[in-house]
Structure formats: C-alpha cells, structure tokens
Chain A
Amino acid sequence: NAGVMQNPRHLVRRRGQEARLRCSPMKGHSHVYWYRQLPEEGLKFMVYLQKENIIDESGMPKERFSAEFPKEGPSILRIQQVVRGDSAAYFCASSPPSLAGATDTQYFGPGTRLTVL
C-alpha cells in the first residue's frame, strides 16, 4: 500500500508567481490535512479537508492561500502571488474514514520544500 504522496518534492518560485502543491492520500483515506513548517519552527496545522469539502481552515492565512480536495484527483494547496515568507516545508497527511470522523492518527507525506526567490 503506497504511502501519502506529495509532489513536487522541491519547488522554486519567484515572488509574485503561483505555487501548486499536490497531495495524494493513502488508498482508502478520505481525510486530508495540510501543515506548514517554517524554518526553525514546528509543523503548524493549516487546513482539514474531506472529499469536496473544507472542514476546518482555521490555520490558513486569510489571503493568497486556498486548498481543495476534489472528488477525483489529489488534494491541491495553492499559494497565489508568493512572497519570501512563504518559503517553508508543506506537509500533507491523511487518515481513513471512521465513525469518529477526523482522527489524530495521521499518515504523513514526505513534504514539499517551497523556496521563494
């Protein structure tokens, strides 16, 4: 069973460009979470999605950031008009459906390292 896949693993963008980060959850998983790790910081929760629904986006910056998890295909984290402060590692995690809904037992991908020049 393949793990959580993220691509690209490394992404370089110039200020003002758009960044698109992709996450394919583990097979059978319907819950996706995105976390950001700024330099010298721990991972910080950004958003929790189920198929076609954003459940909790309380950790997302109010502007330029958006996330989706369509019925078909990977989850996408999109950052418009990137700035140097967006340089970070972005991790995706997934979990299977359960009676309890979302769970703290999450399976993480290897992350995407975004560098903004």
Chain B
Amino acid sequence: GNSVTQMEGPVTLSEEAFLTINCTYTATGYPSLFWYVQYPGEGLQLLLKATKADDKGSNKGFEATYRKETTSFHLEKGSVQVSDSAVYFCALSSGGSNYKLTFGKGTLLTVNP
C-alpha cells in the first residue's frame, strides 16, 4: 500500500535559517506529491504539489522536487521567517482513487526571532 515517511519533529530554527524537511514515499504507479501546511488553529492548506518525476513545486519561497529515483519530495526554504511556524505534512495520491490522500505524520516547525 501507499505510505509517506517524513522527518520527525519538532524542528526549531532561527529566523533566516535554511529549512529542509525530508519526505520519502512508497506508492504503486506514479503518484502525485503534496506538501500541506497547518497554521495554529486553522485547517490544512495546500502549499505546493508536483505530479510527475522531476517536477518542482514552489510557493511562498518553499520548493520541493519530485525525485522518482530516490522516492523523495523534500521541502526546502532558503530563509525562514517567524510566520512560517506551523505543522508541515507531506502527502501523496495515486491510482484510480486519486482523492484518497495518504499523509505523513507531520513535522512541527518553530522559527524563533
């Protein structure tokens, strides 16, 4: 079956530091890959997605590249801000039931001023 493994948290960084949150996956076929972000008290928001190998998703300074050879979709940002503090979820969908998203456990990021 499908599964997503992401970096254990919590992650604590200083403002302007470089961020990497690792995500690897197991899936049948050719999945679509996602990063969702959940700010305190809010619902999950789609941050970025990639639908095929070597695609790069990007949004708000965040990037992730779909690496089929390593089955990875690591999230990166060059310079984090305090407002980036949130929980980040890696997810995938695949197969005929593409609406069934499979999520990782989430990684809590705290950015200190």
Contacts and interface: CB of A to CB of B under 8 A. Distances in A.
A108 interface: yes
A111 B49 CA distance: 22
A103 B99 contact: yes
Contacts of B34: 104
A3 B43 contact: yes
Contacts of A69: none
Contact of A102 (B32, B46, B98, B103): B98
State the 3 A-B residue pairs at the shortest beta-carbon distance, nearest first. Answer: A42-B103, A102-B99, A108-B44
B43 A42 contact: no
A74 interface: no
B93 A43 contact: no
8 contacts: A40-B105, A44-B103, A45-B102, A48-B99, A91-B43, A102-B98, A104-B32, A104-B98
Interface of B: 4, 32, 34, 36, 41-46, 49, 89, 91, 93, 97-106
B98 A43 contact: no
Interface string A43-57: 111001000000010
Contacts of A109: 43
A103 B51 CA distance: 13
Instruction: Categorize the interface residue count of chain A.
Output: 20 to 34
Contacts of B98: 102-104
A42 B105 contact: yes
Interface in A58-117: 59, 91, 93, 95, 102-111
Contacts of A106: 46, 99, 101
Given A33-B99, A91-B43, A91-B44, 8 more contacts: A4-B43, A31-B99, A35-B101, A56-B100, A105-B49, A106-B101, A108-B45, A111-B43
B101 A43 contact: yes
Nearest to A9: B41
A113 to B, nearest CB: 11
A78 B89 CA distance: 26
Contacts of B32: 104
